[in-house]
Amino acid sequence: ETGVTQTPRHLVMGMTNKKSLKCEQHLGHNAMYWYKQSAKKPLELMFVYNFKEQTENNSVPSRFSPECPNSSHLFLHLHTLQPEDSALYLCASSQESRDGSPLHFGNGTRLTVT
Amino acid sequence: QKEVEQNSGPLSVPEGAIASLNCTYSDRGSQSFFWYRQYSGKSPELIMFIYSNGDKEDGRFTAQLNKASQYVSLLIRDSQPSDSATYLCAVQDTGNQFYFGTGTSLTVIP
Protein backbone atom coordinates (compact mmCIF):
# COMPACT_ATOMS: atom_id res chain seq x y z
CA GLU A 1 0.00 0.00 0.00
CA THR A 2 1.09 3.54 -0.60
CA GLY A 3 0.16 6.95 0.75
CA VAL A 4 -2.10 7.55 3.71
CA THR A 5 -4.83 5.04 4.50
CA GLN A 6 -7.79 5.71 6.77
CA THR A 7 -10.40 3.32 8.10
CA PRO A 8 -13.31 3.15 8.26
CA ARG A 9 -14.46 5.27 5.31
CA HIS A 10 -17.89 5.79 6.85
CA LEU A 11 -19.03 5.58 10.46
CA VAL A 12 -22.43 6.07 12.05
CA MET A 13 -22.48 6.09 15.81
CA GLY A 14 -24.81 6.96 18.61
CA MET A 15 -23.97 9.52 21.23
CA THR A 16 -23.17 6.86 23.80
CA ASN A 17 -20.96 4.72 21.58
CA LYS A 18 -17.19 4.38 21.63
CA LYS A 19 -15.35 4.00 18.35
CA SER A 20 -11.89 4.58 16.93
CA LEU A 21 -10.61 5.96 13.65
CA LYS A 22 -7.39 4.54 12.28
CA CYS A 23 -4.75 6.09 10.05
CA GLU A 24 -1.60 4.58 8.59
CA GLN A 25 0.99 6.29 6.42
CA HIS A 26 3.48 4.55 4.15
CA LEU A 27 5.43 7.66 3.12
CA GLY A 28 8.16 7.58 5.75
CA HIS A 29 6.94 10.88 7.18
CA ASN A 30 7.56 11.90 10.77
CA ALA A 31 4.51 14.06 11.47
CA MET A 32 0.86 13.06 11.47
CA TYR A 33 -2.26 15.16 11.84
CA TRP A 34 -5.98 14.93 12.49
CA TYR A 35 -8.18 17.52 10.78
CA LYS A 36 -11.92 18.05 10.95
CA GLN A 37 -13.75 19.30 7.87
CA SER A 38 -17.25 20.68 8.27
CA ALA A 39 -19.38 22.28 5.57
CA LYS A 40 -18.56 25.92 4.79
CA LYS A 41 -15.64 25.97 7.25
CA PRO A 42 -11.88 25.83 6.76
CA LEU A 43 -10.12 22.65 7.70
CA GLU A 44 -9.71 22.62 11.48
CA LEU A 45 -6.51 21.23 12.92
CA MET A 46 -7.25 18.95 15.87
CA PHE A 47 -4.00 17.22 16.74
CA VAL A 48 -0.41 17.09 15.53
CA TYR A 49 2.13 14.40 16.35
CA ASN A 50 5.75 15.05 15.52
CA PHE A 51 8.12 12.13 16.04
CA LYS A 52 5.29 10.44 18.01
CA GLU A 53 5.05 13.33 20.46
CA GLN A 54 1.89 15.41 20.53
CA THR A 55 2.83 19.00 19.73
CA GLU A 56 -0.54 20.63 19.13
CA ASN A 57 -3.95 20.25 20.70
CA ASN A 58 -6.19 22.96 19.38
CA SER A 59 -8.53 23.04 22.38
CA VAL A 60 -10.26 19.92 21.17
CA PRO A 61 -12.94 18.52 23.51
CA SER A 62 -11.84 15.57 25.61
CA ARG A 63 -14.40 13.33 23.89
CA PHE A 64 -11.74 13.13 21.17
CA SER A 65 -8.63 11.28 22.27
CA PRO A 66 -5.63 10.76 19.95
CA GLU A 67 -3.08 8.00 20.11
CA CYS A 68 0.14 7.70 18.15
CA PRO A 69 1.96 4.43 18.92
CA ASN A 70 4.63 5.02 16.27
CA SER A 71 5.40 7.44 13.45
CA SER A 72 3.34 5.43 10.94
CA HIS A 73 0.10 4.95 12.86
CA LEU A 74 -2.40 7.37 14.32
CA PHE A 75 -5.72 6.76 16.03
CA LEU A 76 -8.58 8.98 17.08
CA HIS A 77 -10.69 7.50 19.86
CA LEU A 78 -14.23 8.79 20.05
CA HIS A 79 -16.69 8.64 22.95
CA THR A 80 -19.92 10.37 23.93
CA LEU A 81 -19.90 12.49 20.80
CA GLN A 82 -22.44 15.15 19.95
CA PRO A 83 -24.41 15.54 16.70
CA GLU A 84 -22.33 18.64 15.86
CA ASP A 85 -19.27 16.39 15.71
CA SER A 86 -20.62 14.93 12.48
CA ALA A 87 -18.04 15.82 9.83
CA LEU A 88 -15.30 14.48 7.58
CA TYR A 89 -12.24 13.55 9.64
CA LEU A 90 -9.01 13.68 7.71
CA CYS A 91 -5.67 12.23 8.61
CA ALA A 92 -2.56 13.71 7.03
CA SER A 93 1.18 13.27 7.19
CA SER A 94 4.21 15.36 6.30
CA GLN A 95 7.96 15.44 6.67
CA GLU A 96 8.06 17.93 9.53
CA SER A 97 11.76 18.68 9.42
CA ARG A 98 11.71 19.79 5.80
CA ASP A 99 10.54 23.33 5.09
CA GLY A 100 7.70 23.46 2.68
CA SER A 101 6.84 19.80 2.96
CA PRO A 102 3.15 19.55 2.02
CA LEU A 103 0.46 17.62 3.79
CA HIS A 104 -0.61 14.33 2.27
CA PHE A 105 -4.17 13.43 3.15
CA GLY A 106 -5.90 10.12 3.59
CA ASN A 107 -9.34 9.47 2.09
CA GLY A 108 -11.07 10.54 5.27
CA THR A 109 -13.75 9.08 7.53
CA ARG A 110 -17.25 10.45 7.11
CA LEU A 111 -18.66 10.44 10.64
CA THR A 112 -22.34 10.77 11.44
CA VAL A 113 -23.41 11.06 15.07
CA THR A 114 -27.06 10.23 15.68
CA GLN B 1 -5.45 34.65 14.37
CA LYS B 2 -3.85 33.79 11.04
CA GLU B 3 -6.35 33.86 8.21
CA VAL B 4 -6.53 32.61 4.67
CA GLU B 5 -9.27 34.12 2.54
CA GLN B 6 -10.77 32.68 -0.61
CA ASN B 7 -13.84 33.60 -2.61
CA SER B 8 -16.18 30.67 -2.00
CA GLY B 9 -17.69 30.97 -5.46
CA PRO B 10 -19.16 29.17 -7.18
CA LEU B 11 -16.94 30.07 -10.10
CA SER B 12 -18.18 28.89 -13.47
CA VAL B 13 -16.09 28.88 -16.64
CA PRO B 14 -16.71 27.34 -20.06
CA GLU B 15 -14.64 24.39 -21.18
CA GLY B 16 -11.35 25.52 -22.67
CA ALA B 17 -11.27 28.83 -20.81
CA ILE B 18 -8.84 29.97 -18.12
CA ALA B 19 -10.02 29.59 -14.53
CA SER B 20 -8.48 32.03 -12.05
CA LEU B 21 -8.59 31.25 -8.34
CA ASN B 22 -7.39 33.73 -5.75
CA CYS B 23 -6.23 33.59 -2.15
CA THR B 24 -5.01 36.16 0.36
CA TYR B 25 -3.34 35.51 3.69
CA SER B 26 -2.78 37.56 6.81
CA ASP B 27 0.59 36.33 8.12
CA ARG B 28 3.52 38.10 6.44
CA GLY B 29 5.87 35.47 7.79
CA SER B 30 4.24 32.68 5.80
CA GLN B 31 6.79 30.57 4.00
CA SER B 32 5.10 28.07 1.74
CA PHE B 33 1.89 28.02 -0.23
CA PHE B 34 -0.13 25.11 -1.52
CA TRP B 35 -3.14 24.48 -3.69
CA TYR B 36 -5.26 21.41 -3.08
CA ARG B 37 -8.11 20.09 -5.21
CA GLN B 38 -11.01 18.36 -3.48
CA TYR B 39 -13.70 16.52 -5.36
CA SER B 40 -17.06 16.15 -3.68
CA GLY B 41 -16.92 13.45 -1.03
CA LYS B 42 -13.16 12.99 -1.45
CA SER B 43 -10.08 14.16 0.42
CA PRO B 44 -7.86 17.09 -0.63
CA GLU B 45 -5.23 16.29 -3.24
CA LEU B 46 -2.09 18.40 -3.65
CA ILE B 47 -1.81 19.92 -7.12
CA MET B 48 0.68 22.80 -6.76
CA PHE B 49 3.08 24.36 -4.29
CA ILE B 50 5.09 27.57 -4.49
CA TYR B 51 7.69 29.10 -2.20
CA SER B 52 9.14 32.06 -4.10
CA ASN B 53 7.65 35.18 -5.60
CA GLY B 54 6.63 34.86 -9.21
CA ASP B 55 5.06 32.15 -11.31
CA LYS B 56 5.40 28.40 -11.23
CA GLU B 57 3.99 26.32 -14.05
CA ASP B 58 3.08 22.63 -14.07
CA GLY B 59 1.19 21.48 -17.14
CA ARG B 60 -2.10 23.37 -17.34
CA PHE B 61 -1.63 24.80 -13.85
CA THR B 62 0.22 28.00 -12.91
CA ALA B 63 0.65 29.21 -9.35
CA GLN B 64 1.46 32.87 -8.78
CA LEU B 65 2.83 34.30 -5.56
CA ASN B 66 3.19 37.93 -4.49
CA LYS B 67 4.45 38.08 -0.91
CA ALA B 68 4.39 41.88 -0.78
CA SER B 69 0.66 41.81 -1.49
CA GLN B 70 0.15 38.59 0.50
CA TYR B 71 -1.57 37.07 -2.46
CA VAL B 72 -1.39 33.71 -4.16
CA SER B 73 -3.37 32.55 -7.15
CA LEU B 74 -3.93 29.48 -9.28
CA LEU B 75 -4.59 29.62 -13.00
CA ILE B 76 -6.00 26.61 -14.83
CA ARG B 77 -5.59 26.83 -18.59
CA ASP B 78 -7.78 24.92 -21.05
CA SER B 79 -10.23 24.09 -18.27
CA GLN B 80 -11.85 20.66 -18.48
CA PRO B 81 -15.07 19.38 -16.88
CA SER B 82 -12.84 17.09 -14.79
CA ASP B 83 -11.37 20.22 -13.17
CA SER B 84 -14.75 20.86 -11.51
CA ALA B 85 -13.99 20.65 -7.80
CA THR B 86 -13.32 22.77 -4.74
CA TYR B 87 -9.84 24.30 -4.61
CA LEU B 88 -8.28 24.86 -1.22
CA CYS B 89 -5.51 27.36 -0.59
CA ALA B 90 -3.14 26.44 2.23
CA VAL B 91 -0.42 28.56 3.82
CA GLN B 92 2.41 27.25 5.98
CA ASP B 93 4.02 29.49 8.57
CA THR B 94 7.53 29.43 10.00
CA GLY B 95 6.38 27.04 12.70
CA ASN B 96 5.29 24.51 10.06
CA GLN B 97 1.64 25.12 10.88
CA PHE B 98 -0.85 24.95 8.01
CA TYR B 99 -3.78 27.31 7.60
CA PHE B 100 -6.52 26.64 5.08
CA GLY B 101 -9.08 28.78 3.30
CA THR B 102 -12.70 27.67 2.98
CA GLY B 103 -12.13 26.78 -0.66
CA THR B 104 -13.44 28.00 -4.01
CA SER B 105 -15.96 25.85 -5.86
CA LEU B 106 -15.17 25.65 -9.59
CA THR B 107 -17.55 24.37 -12.24
CA VAL B 108 -16.33 23.90 -15.81
CA ILE B 109 -19.27 23.90 -18.20
CA PRO B 110 -18.98 21.61 -21.25
pLDDT in tens, A19-35: 999 999 999 999 999 99
Which stretches of chain B score pLDDT less than 70?
A: none
Residue A109 has pLDDT above 80, yes or no: yes
Provide the pLDDT for residue B60.
97
A103 with B51: Cβ contact below 8 A: no
Provide the pLDDT for residue A55.
74
Compute the mean pLDDT over every residue in chain B, rounded to the nearest whole number: 94
* pLDDT tens-digit map of A42-73: 899 999 998 777 777 778 999 999 999 998 99
Residues of chain A with Cβ-Cβ distance to B85 below 8 Å are: none
Residues of chain B with Cβ-Cβ distance to A99 below 8 Å are: 31-32, 96
> What distance in Å separates the CA atoms of residue B36 and residue A17, rounded to the nearest whole number?
34
Percent of chain B exceeding pLDDT 70 equals 100
Percent of chain A exceeding pLDDT 70 equals 96
Q: Which helix (H) or strand (E) holds A111?
A: strand A109-113
Q: Which of A31, A102, A107 sits opposite B43 (nearest CB)?
A: A107
Confidence bin at A99 (pLDDT 50/70/90): low
A103 with B32: Cβ contact below 8 A: no
- Of residues A91 and A96, which shows the higher confidence score? A91
Q: Is A93 exposed, middle or buried (0-12, 13-18, 19+ CB in 10 A)?
A: buried
A102 with B99: Cβ contact below 8 A: no
Interface test with A, best of B96, B97, B99, B100 (most A CBs within 10 A): B96
How many secondary structure helices (H) and strands (E) does chain A include? 0, 11
